[in-house]
Amino acid sequence: MTTPEKRDTAGSNDMLTDVAHNWLEELGQVLSRGDTGSYGKVFVPDAWWRDLLAFSGDLRSLHTADAIGPMIATAGTLGVSDFELDPRVLPALSSGDTAPPVLQILFGLTTRVGNVRAVARLIPDNDDIWRATALLTELDTLHGHEPATGHRRPHGNPESGERTGDRHAGRVREASTVDEPEVVVIGAGHSGLGLAAHLKTLGVRALVVDRNARIGDNWRSRYDSLVLHDPVWANHLPFLPFPPTWPVFTPKDRMGDWLELYARALELNVRTGTTVTSSTYDVSTGTWELDLDSCGQVHTVRPRHVVLATGLSGTEPLVPEFEGTDLFRGEILHSGRYRTDPARAGTSVVVIGTGNSGHDIAQDLYLSGANVTLMQRGPTYVVGGTTVVDVMLEPAYGEDSPPTEISDLVGASFPRFDEAAQDGLRAAVALMAERDRPLLDGLTTRGFRHNLGDDDMGAMNLFLTRNGGYYIDVGASRLIADGEIELVSGTIEEFTPDALRMSDGRRIPADTVVLATGFRGIHDTARRVLGDAVADKCGPVWGLDDEGEVRSVWRRSGHDGFWFSGGNLTMARVYNKYLALQIKADLEGIEFSSIP
């Protein structure tokens, strides 16, 4: 094999395709034989193989021959075949001046269980043979249970007998799902609804319940100035993208309305004003018994699976203890209860905490005419919202970027602990900091402590490991740098009747104190909603395991028949599919292979 030219010409495209074909043929032979001894024919010594259900039955990132060997052996038992390059995406070569060229290819294959989509990145080794430095495989569909989308969509014609769209038939179908759901999803935010949409296409009867009166109230009830921090291209829900008229940054009420419309357009079964008041799980039958309370009317259902999609941060506020709060004459409220209130104009408000919520609320208060002081407890990573879009997101999620489905697949192909991926992330974070330099310098001048995140890896890493510790700037940083929002750093000694006294003796006047101090996490919500017996069986939820995979979300939670779903819109769109496939497989008695 020869090293292709760096430049993309028609000739080199053919050559790249040849390289890809040759590698794919070799991979097919190694996997179909389960030939662990041939690892070195297709992988470099320190390669990564990330697998999302297809071979491991779980979400796994495996590194080097010792870890990847069992996956190759498992592949040998799964009847792999039909290795084919993805005709929609040509093999693409990228190379820097010093870095070796990397050839990225997208392909598909089939196992006895289902169809698999894959991405590989190949580099030429010293012997001029191309080998994979990273491989992603993901289970796309289950044989015999393909989603009812595209060519398999419902017909809709009365002659077909399906009667979909018929309101009467719709109500009949809904009643059977409401009375005998196979899955109950608690929480009708984007996570719960997106999962329900996937389950529906797989023919699973799912009922979503939400304590709010209307779908979307979780967004509508937030403060007025809130807009999503990610651009529209990153935020599409499964099966129903935002229209091209949609604003780049979605205002919160429109997000609420969109969720409501989504549930209606996809005919999802949602019961609002509903909470779970009691739950038991029968291990012998693998069945739950849940009492659902809808405005005082209790209704018992017996699903096989329960999914908690009530928001990763959890619904229980994290409230630090301070001396003297009983003496304070003003109002102390947690960020979760904060709403815009014009009556705060001209009053003094202290916001404690400098994550996204603290910044956003400080900005909202400033816009309401309050005298705002933001209190910083520890360093915070700050990055400009448009900077993130331009540097990080635009190539994958922008007006001219590849289709969302392709960007999602390629995005998933970077194992989080892969040093090359981490170096790339650090370089992007450094580049963004350079672009934001004037703003960051302005913050420094005001005494705001900022950093580049843990290991200089920015916001996504903080989100995955701590679910906080960063601010994606949509205006508050400029207000701080310009002194429109006061900044105080340090430790609070005590509350006095009308102020906060700092340990260095400073006095910060306050009529209201907003605690933007976070929430206890979804594991605590599981304990409150489903009880200790369930929560005790679940491992840590969120954060990364030893392989860099998110713990307990969209994968086995530790308790049979119980799952967590959550994350931002991008992650939920990508990973809810795997959760839906795991539930469908369980309902159909399909066993996934597993590896140590």
Is residue 192 within 8 A of residue 208, CB to CB? The reply is yes
Phi, psi for residue 415 in degrees, rounded to 5: -60, 140
Nearest residue (CB) to ligand FAD, 216 versus 453:
216
Q: Is 131 in the site for ligand FAD (CB under 6 A)?
A: no
- Residue of 133, 218, 404, 593 interacting with ligand FAD (CB under 6 A): 218
Q: Is 523 in the site for ligand FAD (CB under 6 A)?
A: no
Q: What angle do CA 291, 292, 293 make, to 5 degrees?
A: 115
- Minimum distance of ligand FAD from residue 276's CB (angstroms): 6
- Residue of 309, 382, 481, 580 interacting with ligand FAD (CB under 6 A): 309
- Residue of 52, 306, 499, 529 interacting with ligand FAD (CB under 6 A): 529
Name the DSSP class of 303.
Answer: -
- Residue of 190, 523, 573, 577 interacting with ligand FAD (CB under 6 A): 190
How far CA 305 is from CA of 100, 282, 301, 312, 313, in Å, comes to 48, 12, 11, 19, 22
- Residue of 212, 386, 401, 496 interacting with ligand FAD (CB under 6 A): 212
Binding segment toward ligand FAD, per CB under 6 A, in 3-11, 209-217, 325-333, 583-591: 209-217
| CA–CA gap between residue 510 and residue 375 (Å, rounded) | 12
| CA–CA gap between residue 60 and residue 580 (Å, rounded) | 17
Dihedral over Cα of 379, 549, 237, 262: its sign: negative
- Number of C-alpha atoms within 13 angstroms, CB side, residue 254? 15
- Residue of 226, 391, 429, 534 interacting with ligand FAD (CB under 6 A): 226
Helix (H) or strand (E) holding 526: helix 522-530
Residues 6 or more apart in contact with residue 365 via CB below 8 angstroms: 344, 349, 351, 372, 514
- Minimum distance of ligand FAD from residue 310's CB (angstroms): 4
Nearest residue (CB) to ligand FAD, 218 versus 422:
218
- Residue of 131, 198, 211, 527 interacting with ligand FAD (CB under 6 A): 211
Binding segment toward ligand FAD, per CB under 6 A, in 14-22, 136-144, 222-230, 584-592: 222-230
- Minimum distance of ligand FAD from residue 474's CB (angstroms): 8
Binding segment toward ligand FAD, per CB under 6 A, in 26-34, 311-319, 325-333, 587-595: 311-319
| CA–CA gap between residue 300 and residue 277 (Å, rounded) | 10
- Minimum distance of ligand FAD from residue 532's CB (angstroms): 16
| CA–CA gap between residue 73 and residue 31 (Å, rounded) | 7
- Minimum distance of ligand FAD from residue 574's CB (angstroms): 12
- Residue of 57, 192, 330, 469 interacting with ligand FAD (CB under 6 A): 192
Nearest residue (CB) to ligand FAD, 213 versus 343:
213
Single-letter amino acid, residue 434:
E
How large is the angle between the packed helices 10-33 and 64-75, nearest 10 degrees?
80
Q: Is 569 in the site for ligand FAD (CB under 6 A)?
A: yes
Q: How many CB atoms lie within 10 A of CB 501?
A: 16
Nearest residue (CB) to ligand FAD, 263 versus 529:
529
According to DSSP H, which parts of 266-418 are helical?
356-367, 385-387, 404-412
| CA–CA gap between residue 416 and residue 424 (Å, rounded) | 11
Nearest residue (CB) to ligand FAD, 34 versus 521:
521
Binding segment toward ligand FAD, per CB under 6 A, in 84-92, 104-112, 221-229, 380-388: 221-229
Nearest residue (CB) to ligand FAD, 261 versus 327:
261
Question: By CB under 6 A, what part of segment 27-86 binds ligand FAD?
Answer: none
Q: Is 188 in the site for ligand FAD (CB under 6 A)?
A: yes
Q: Whose structure tokens read 């040998």?
A: 76
Q: Is 340 in the site for ligand FAD (CB under 6 A)?
A: no
Phi, psi for residue 558 in degrees, rounded to 5: 110, -20
Nearest residue (CB) to ligand FAD, 182 versus 210:
210
Per-residue mark of binding to ligand FAD, 229-268 (x: CB under 6 A):
xx----x---------------------------------
Residue number, nearest CB to ligand FAD: 189
Q: What angle do CA 96, 48, 65 make, to 5 degrees?
A: 125
| CA–CA gap between residue 1 and residue 130 (Å, rounded) | 8
Q: Is 573 in the site for ligand FAD (CB under 6 A)?
A: no
Question: By CB under 6 A, what part of segment 342-361 binds ligand FAD?
Answer: 356-357, 360
Torsion of CA 239, 245, 249, 251, to 10 degrees: -90
Q: Are strands 270-271 and 274-282 parallel, antiparallel or unpaired?
A: unpaired
Q: Which of 292, 350, 297 is nearest to 322 (CA)?
A: 350
- Minimum distance of ligand FAD from residue 286's CB (angstroms): 23
- Minimum distance of ligand FAD from residue 4's CB (angstroms): 38
Q: How many helices (H) and strands (E) does the chain have?
A: 17, 26
Binding segment toward ligand FAD, per CB under 6 A, in 12-20, 126-134, 188-196, 428-436: 188-196
- Minimum distance of ligand FAD from residue 247's CB (angstroms): 12
- Minimum distance of ligand FAD from residue 306's CB (angstroms): 12
Residues 6 or more apart in contact with residue 33 via CB below 8 angstroms: 76
| CA–CA gap between residue 230 and residue 245 (Å, rounded) | 16
Q: Is 315 in the site for ligand FAD (CB under 6 A)?
A: yes
Is residue 580 within 8 A of residue 191, CB to CB? The reply is no
Query: Which residues lie near ligand FAD (CB under 6 A)?
Result: 186-192, 209-212, 218, 226, 228-230, 235, 275, 309-312, 315, 356-357, 360, 529, 566, 568-569
